[in-house]
Amino acid sequence: MRTVVIIPARLGSSRLPGKVLLDICGKPMIQHVYEAARKATKIDDVYIATDAEEVKDVCSTFTDKIIMTSTVHESGTDRLAEAIEKIDCDCVINVQGDEPLIDPKLIDALAVQMQASDEEMVSAMHKILSTSELKSPNAVKVTVDNRSYALYFSRSIIPHHRDDWEALLNHHETIPVPLRFYKHIGIYGYSTSFLKMYANLEQTYLEKLEKLEQLRVLENGFSIKMVETEYEPVGVDTLEDLERVKELMQCR
């Protein structure tokens, strides 16, 4: 089963324009993402999908696996759906272009899940440990069934802890045992046939309400297998995020 990684690399960004080309330790951010993805051992290849000649020119200095896509796509999913038309693959893993610290082992975990169980779609989650993260609407929560299939994603806190809700939110800094809350990590694996179909579905009510594209999958009756990981993403959306990544990477 041929499995590839595609990294959507859009030049435009509402909060930090051109961020995929920002310098981190002497390399553009997109190169760090690409090189990390290349370290995964359960995939066959890594591609960058972009709509910008400037991104193509920079990326061509370290790879020739670049796919040019339309400038009108509204989401990374749409960009992936166009890109796979030009690639021979059975499964594709979408790695965000603004996560230079992405863990290759997480990519491998999703690839293995796709290859072993023939899932239509997989994603990842990690256990939330602090109540501050739990309360943040920027931290997308996911709750799962006994087989680790997603039941729902939300910016609100799910599930609701009815008995000690006030104490949980106002008197704890960490999540007490045995409570379990999970944060969704925005890395996705798809079968190519499912991705092509999914990209053509109309936006759904809950998707538009929560501004969470993955809800389109659940609202249409499909499933998302969730893989638990200890990896916590450090995406770059602001200059402060960029400085934090540089510090974590110990740029000299």
The pLDDT tens digits of the residues spanning 61-116 come to: 999 999 999 877 777 788 899 999 999 999 999 999 999 999 999 999 999 999 88
Identify the pLDDT of residue 167.
81
- Whole-number mean pLDDT of the chain? 92
Query: Percent of the chain at pLDDT above 70?
Result: 99
Tokens encoding 161: 């802890």
**Sequence ranges of the domains in the chain:** 3-248
- What's the pTM value of the predicted model, to 2 decimals? 0.92
Pairing of strands 3-9, 45-50: parallel
Quick one: average pLDDT of 229-248? 89
SS3 call for 252: coil
- 3-class SS at 181? coil
pLDDT digits (tens, 9 = 90+) for 120-166: 999 999 999 999 999 999 899 999 999 999 999 999 999 998 887 88
DSSP element (H, E) containing 20: none
| pLDDT score, position 14 | 66
- Position 252 scores a pLDDT of 56
For 110, 188, 217, the CA distances from 203, given in Å and listed in that order, are 25, 18, 10
Thinking of the domain 3-248, which architecture would CATH place it in?
Alpha-Beta Complex (3.90)
Q: What is the pLDDT of residue 39?
A: 97
Determine the pLDDT at residue 168. 85
pLDDT(13) > 80: no
Share of the chain above pLDDT 90, in %: 73
- pLDDT over 60 at 186, yes or no: yes
Confidence of residue 238 (pLDDT cuts 50, 70, 90): confident
φ, ψ of residue 184 to 5 degrees: the values are -80, 135
pLDDT for residue 58: 96
Please give the pLDDT value at position 174. Answer: 92
Most confident of 70-74, 233-237, 239-243: 239-243
Sign of CA dihedral 120, 81, 77, 102: positive
In sequence order, the β-bridge partners of residue 142 are 153, 182
pLDDT at 136: 92
